[in-house]
Structure formats: C-alpha cells, structure tokens
C-alpha cells in the first residue's frame, strides 16, 4: 500500500505488497522487493536495491551520494538483501567507481544511527549496534557482531563470527571467530558463546582456540605462527579459514594481549 502523501517516482520498481508510509521519498532507479515495509520520513535515493521482507525505519537514508571527493556522479548502487532491518536514521551510501556498489546482506540488523560508507560489503546475519560508523571499503563477514559506537577505519576487514566490544576503534583487520576489545583493539579470546549458539561443537571450539594460542599467546610473529599451524595442527575448515584470512590481510591483524606483533 503506497500512501498518497509519499513522494514516489513513477519509474521506481516497487512490488505490489510493499508498504510505504507517509512523507517518505522514493527516487527513480530504485527497486524494492515483496513484503518490505518503508516507514515514514525515509529517503530512498537513486541506485537503491532493497530485497524482500525488509524493514526500513523513520529517518533512514538509503543509497545516498558517497561522501568521497573522487565521486563524479557515476551510476552505482546500494544493495540490501532479504529480511534485513534498517533502524532509525541509518545512512547507507552507494558505491563509487572502485566497486560500483555498496552491499548489505540478508538477515542483517543495522541499529539506529549506523553509517555505512561507499563500497562497503556487509555479508549475511551481521549485527551493527547503535552508532557504528563504517568508513569506505570495509568488509564484514557473516555472523559478525559490532558493538555500539564503534568506528571502523577504511579498508578494514572483520572476519566471520567475530564479537567486537562497544566503543572500539578498529584500525586493523579482525580475524574470524574471535572476541576483540580494549584500546588499542586486541585479542580477548575466541567468541565461544556465539560459536556454540550457532552449532559449533566443543571439539571445534577447542581447535579454534588452539590455533589462536599459536597466533597470539606464544610470542611468535604472525607468519611464523601460521607456518607452525600449517605443519603441526590438524587440518580443518576453520583452521584454513583463519590461515587464509591472516595470510591475505593487507592492513595486518589486530594485536594480542601485550600489543606484540
């Protein structure tokens, strides 16, 4: 049901059962999937692609022009998967010529006042708590949770199943399965509670913990630790996921307990 006092461009592609509340603006070159609810006073700008059964709360701005001086008006998108909730006053910029799109996955929750800058990639089941601020080109893998008022430096990558404490400043990559806290941000153990809630066995949790003992607790530099892990620890999907993440990190990973590299 489209409210007559909403401002909807005639070229916007909106599924029949989408609800658009009063005083919202939907610009041209927008696609909104079935079952999605657009609350009042929402602005959805050119290039937005919103999936099925999403909820967008008042004050949100989706697919805004990137806050990047290199942007020259190229046609780009901001794409949101199915069943994702965008709470009050969230801002999501569309992409630039670098990637041409900003991506938000399915089954995500972006709480109030979150900002997602241009060319970010947020995968499925991610939670960004209130006032999380992502600079451009940030990647967040599946099932990560980022605590409120956290700020993330551009080009940082956050691994799958990570839990990050509120109020953090993230300048380096955060490898998968860990809990991160303190300032400067550092390793605070593995996210064992979250992993068990998602069906990881005790054996797998212990194997992940053993991998991180070599990376953070035995005084080795990261490349030496990876060599030992490859040679001495049994192969598993989780072990290889950690190795691949760290080996491919361009910014380097966060520090350990003592701030050692």
Residues annotated as catalytic (active site), given as ranges: 118-119, 136
Is the bond preceding residue 184 a cis peptide, omega within 30 degrees? yes
Q: Is the dihedral of CA 89, 95, 101, 105 positive or negative?
A: negative
Give the DSSP letter string of 184-251: TTEEEEE-HHHHHHTT--HHHHHHHHHHHIIIIIS---HHHHHHHHHHHSPP-HHHHHHHHHHHT-SS
Burial 214-235 (b: 16+ CB within 10 A, else e): bbbeeebebeebbeebeeeeee
């Amino acid at each position: 049901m489209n409210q007559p006092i909403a401002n909807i461009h005639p070229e916007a592609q909106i599924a029949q059962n989408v609800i658009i509340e009063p005083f919202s603006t939907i610009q041209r070159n927008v696609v909104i999937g079935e079952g999605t609810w657009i609350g009042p006073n929402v602005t959805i700008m050119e290039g937005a692609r919103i999936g099925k059964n999403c909820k967008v709360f008042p004050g949100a701005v989706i697919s805004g022009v990137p806050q990047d001086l290199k942007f020259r008006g190229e046609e780009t998108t901001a794409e949101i998967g199915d069943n994702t909730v965008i709470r009050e006053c969230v801002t999501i910029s569309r992409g630039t010529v670098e990637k041409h799109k900003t991506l938000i996955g399915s089954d995500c929750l972006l709480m109030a006042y979150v900002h997602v800058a241009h060319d970010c990639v947020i995968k499925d089941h991610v939670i960004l708590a209130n006032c999380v601020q992502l600079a451009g080109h940030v990647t967040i893998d599946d099932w990560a949770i980022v605590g409120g008022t956290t700020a993330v430096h551009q080009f940082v990558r956050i691994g799958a199943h990570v839990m990050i404490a509120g109020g953090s400043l993230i300048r380096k990559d955060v490898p998968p399965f860990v809990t991160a806290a303190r300032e400067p941000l550092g390793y605070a153990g593995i996210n064992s509670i979250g992993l068990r809630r998602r069906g990881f066995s005790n054996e797998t949790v212990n194997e992940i913990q053993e991998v991180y003992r070599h990376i953070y607790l035995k005084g080795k530099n990261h490349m030496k630790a990876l060599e030992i892990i490859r040679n001495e620890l049994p192969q598993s999907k989780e072990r290889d996921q950690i190795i691949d993440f760290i080996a491919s990190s361009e910014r380097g990973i966060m520090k350990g307990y003592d701030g050692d590299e």
